[in-house]
Amino acid sequence: MTNVPIDPRQLTQDLGGKWAQAYGTAPCPICQDRRKGQNALTIRVKGDRLLMHCKKSNCSFIDLLRAAGIAPGTVEIDPTAQREADAARAEYEAYQLHRARKAWDYGKLITGTKGEAYLRGRCITCPLPETLRWIADTYHSPSGQYGAAIVADVQPTGGVHRTFFDKRGNRLAKNAKMMLGPCSGGAVRMSEAVGPLVVCEGIETGLSLLSGLLDGPANVWAALSTSGLRALDLPPRPPSGSLIIATDGDAPGREAGAALADRAHTLGWPVSIMAAPDGQDFNDVLMERRAA
């Protein structure tokens, strides 16, 4: 919503996206990681206005400008359009939160379901937390099909993370993982114990850590993505608390873990990194150990 010309095609390319005839799509620079298939951000021009919309998290226009390397003070923001966008974003966020809580309430205990069978098949042996539920019949919009899902409670933000399956209990090959509602800053809390706070990316990674890969009891949180790691709201550090960041074995995971570690250090947390081998996550590590 700027009145100063910014080349939308160049902006799309700078963000790692592609330009079609009248608009561009790119990974959102706030809530995505430039991984293959990520294209939540749309960029287009309407009249003399540059419009950007994040379909994943509805990130604010000002924040998108900053993340794209454009200082808001260097462009003229249309105040009327900004107010309209703020109101629309607030309405959208409230609607998405409502949908997320409805999905969570619809879920049932995961024990004894095909969701539990899937996780046990991944060599996960720990007790499954109450923050995971199973939905036996739910719509998967990318495929246009009904299937099932493991739904995970994201707190304190109130969103949910869903892992989709077909009716036979097989995880979908494409677009299996989707978030709904506000998730940035939150995490799926997998365990509560007297011990360190262990933060990782994925739910299966967190459950794998709790299945014998940690030295003792711990509070394990899954931040759900590299952007989730970077945005995680850390609690005040307890007097004897420490933070362990369990990173996936790829460059985006290591970089996000390092960013969280730097921020935690400034908050007074003692921090250590637990890194998965190159090209692996800790579920891969667990499955290799069980197969040996």
Specify the pLDDT at position 139.
96
Q: In the listed set 165, 183, 201, which residue is the last one of a domain according to the structure?
A: 183
Domain membership of residue 146 as a residue range: 107-183
Q: Token digits for 264?
A: 């935690």
CA distance 148 to 258: 35
184: region left, alpha or beta (phi > 0 left; psi from -120 to 50 alpha): beta
Specify the pLDDT at position 4.
47
Specify the pLDDT at position 5.
62
Tally of domains within the chain: 3
Contact yes or no for 187/166 (Cβ under 8 A):
no
Specify the pLDDT at position 7.
84
Specify the pLDDT at position 292.
76
CA distance 33 to 19: 19
- 177 & 190 share domain: no
Task: Give every CB contact of residue 205 below 8 A, 6+ residues apart in sequence.
Answer: 222, 246, 248, 281, 282, 283
Q: In the listed set 183, 214, 236, which residue is the last one of a domain according to the structure?
A: 183
* SS3 call for 212: helix
Contact yes or no for 109/135 (Cβ under 8 A):
no
Q: Which amino acid is at 21?
A: Q
Specify the pLDDT at position 289.
93
- 215 & 292 share domain: yes
- 175 & 191 share domain: no
Report cis status (omega within 30 of 0) of the bond before 252: no
Is 102 domain-assigned? no
Is 3 domain-assigned? no
- 202 & 171 share domain: no
pLDDT, mean of each 10-residue run, the chain (292 residues): 69 89 87 78 81 82 82 66 72 91 98 98 98 98 96 98 97 95 95 95 98 96 94 83 96 96 94 97 96 82
Q: C-alpha angle with apex 89: 163 to 91, nearest 5 degrees? A: 85
pLDDT tens per residue, range 68-87: 888 766 666 667 766 776 77
